[in-house]
């Protein structure tokens, strides 16, 4: 039945569904997963890097985490080339706001403006929806720390803990069980790594397969975005018992 209605993004099926947008969401279901957790003193983002070949040169820069402005960062799941376009759009929006009003852009306003762009690609003919989901982590003076999730349809929502990408249903149900209201940032990191280790397809977690980033307030009260180094991540995985320490020969 869907065959007649999935040729264009602008056609509703008789059940009221937009198949092309649903297919875009399906594409994200096959991408490397990302998890975001809101804690009382920051936001934690963890992403799974899909290592497709041993010959592939691992990039020195992050490929799942991106800084949008000093107070907002995001984790990405889906088609990376689509994500790059949207991230550049978001960065320009944030800078325009700062230039106009001399203060950082409120996090939700930034997320909403980006989702407006995404929505446009589901309503006009001849355009393909962006095959990418985002987890936005940020801080502003109005609402403090915030975590938002958005999908190809242009919908977004505020979350306490969220997962996108492969096995996101299993990850969401684990987060629902184990999330506590006033978690510290360290506990949030531990939970995110635990959930990812249980839901990832690969058998063992290593720092090459993961990226971890945090948004928090520094001691001086400034918002800080920090990406965890591979060495620190390896130590963390051993500390929380997610992977075994290498045996000394």
Task: Name the helix (H) or strand (E) containing 74.
Answer: strand 72-78
Portion of the chain with pLDDT greater than 70, in percent: 94
Pairing outcome for strands 72-78 and 65-69: antiparallel
User: Rg (Cα) of the chain, in Å, rounded?
Assistant: 19
**pTM exceeds 0.85, yes or no:** yes
DSSP state of 7: S
Residue-wise pLDDT for 141-192, tens only, equals 999 999 999 999 999 999 999 999 988 999 999 999 999 989 999 999 999 9
Pairing outcome for strands 34-39 and 156-158: unpaired
Alpha-carbon distance of 53 to 85, in angstroms, equals: 26
Of 110 and 19, the structure prediction assigns the larger pLDDT to 110
Residue-wise pLDDT for 36-90, tens only, equals 999 999 999 999 887 767 787 766 667 899 999 999 999 999 999 999 999 999 9
Query: Residue 223: which residues within 8 A CB-CB, separation 6 or more?
Result: 70, 71, 138, 139, 215, 216, 217
Mean of per-residue pLDDT scores for the chain: 89
Confidence class for position 110, pLDDT limits 50, 70, 90: very high
Among 168, 157, 232, CA closest to 195? 168
Please check whether residue 166 is in contact with residue 26, taking contact to mean a CB–CB distance below 8 angstroms.
no
DSSP state of 64: S
Q: How far is CA 174 from the centre of its chain?
A: 17
Residue-wise pLDDT for 191-213, tens only, equals 999 999 888 877 677 888 889 99
Q: How many residues does the chain have?
A: 249
Confidence class for position 29, pLDDT limits 50, 70, 90: confident
Query: Residue 104: which residues within 8 A CB-CB, separation 6 or more?
Result: 69, 70, 71, 94, 97, 98, 140
Q: How far is CA 116 from the centre of its chain?
A: 18
Residue-wise pLDDT for 32-44, tens only, equals 899 999 999 999 9
Please check whether residue 195 is in contact with residue 205, taking contact to mean a CB–CB distance below 8 angstroms.
no
Of 201 and 137, the structure prediction assigns the larger pLDDT to 137
């Amino acid at each position: 039945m869907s065959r007649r209605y999935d040729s264009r993004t602008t056609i509703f099926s008789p059940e009221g569904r937009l198949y092309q947008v649903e297919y875009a969401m399906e594409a994200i279901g096959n991408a490397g997963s990302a998890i975001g957790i809101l804690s009382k003193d920051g936001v934690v983002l963890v992403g799974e890097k899909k290592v497709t070949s041993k010959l592939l040169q691992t990039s020195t820069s992050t490929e799942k985490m991106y800084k949008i402005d000093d107070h907002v960062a995001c984790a990405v799941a889906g088609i990376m080339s689509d994500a790059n376009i949207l991230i550049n759009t978001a960065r320009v929006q944030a800078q325009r706001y700062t230039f106009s009003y001399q203060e950082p852009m409120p996090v939700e306003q930034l997320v909403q403006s980006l989702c407006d762009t995404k929505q446009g690609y589901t309503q006009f003919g001849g355009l393909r929806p962006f095959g990418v989901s985002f987890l936005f982590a940020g801080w502003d003076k109005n609402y403090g720390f915030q975590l938002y999730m958005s999908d190809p349809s242009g919908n977004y929502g505020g979350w306490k803990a969220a997962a996108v990408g492969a096995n996101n249903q299993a990850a969401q149900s684990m987060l629902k069980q184990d999330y506590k209201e006033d978690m510290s940032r360290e506990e949030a990191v531990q939970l995110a790594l635990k959930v990812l280790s249980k839901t990832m397809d690969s058998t063992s977690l290593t720092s090459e397969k993961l990226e971890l980033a945090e948004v928090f307030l520094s001691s001086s009260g400034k918002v800080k975005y920090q990406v965890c180094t591979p060495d620190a991540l390896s130590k963390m995985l051993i500390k929380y018992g997610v992977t075994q320490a290498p045996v000394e020969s």
